[in-house]
Amino acid sequence: MFQSLFGYRQSPIKTQQRVQTNVKQIRSPQLFAQLQNGNAPLLVDVRSPEEYQTDGHIEGSRLLPLPMLLQRMDELPKDKPIVCVCRSGNRSQVACEQLAAFGFTDLTNLAGGMIDWRRNGLPSK
C-alpha cells in the first residue's frame, strides 16, 4: 500500500493522455498590435458567460465557453487564424488542443489570458 501511494506501482486505472500539439503562443501586446493592423484573427473567449460579462472581454471576441466548444466547433472557420482567450491562458490552451485534434491548424493561445491583457493596460469591454 505504501508503495502505491507514492507511485512505485502502476495503477490499474488508465488515465486519459493529453494530445501534445504545437499550439502557438502570443502575448497580449503582440495580439493587440495584430488587432490594430486590420489583420485580426478570430478571437474565441472560452470563459463562462459570467466571466465574459463581469471581468470584461476583448472587443470583437466571440464567447464560446470551453464546456460547449466541441459541441459548437462547426461554427468556427477552419481556414482562418483563431486565438483562444481565457482568464489565465490555461483553459484557452486546452481549447486550442481540442480544436487541433479536430483538424484546426492555425491556432494560437493568448498566454497569460485576460490577466496579462489587463496587466498590460489594454482595453476591454
96 annotated active-site: no
Which of 48, 32, 8 is CA-nearest to residue 83? 32
Strands annotated E in 1-125: 24-26, 42-45, 62-63, 82-85, 107-110
Catalytic residue chosen out of the listed positions 86, 99, 107, 110: 86
Q: Which residues are catalytic?
A: 86
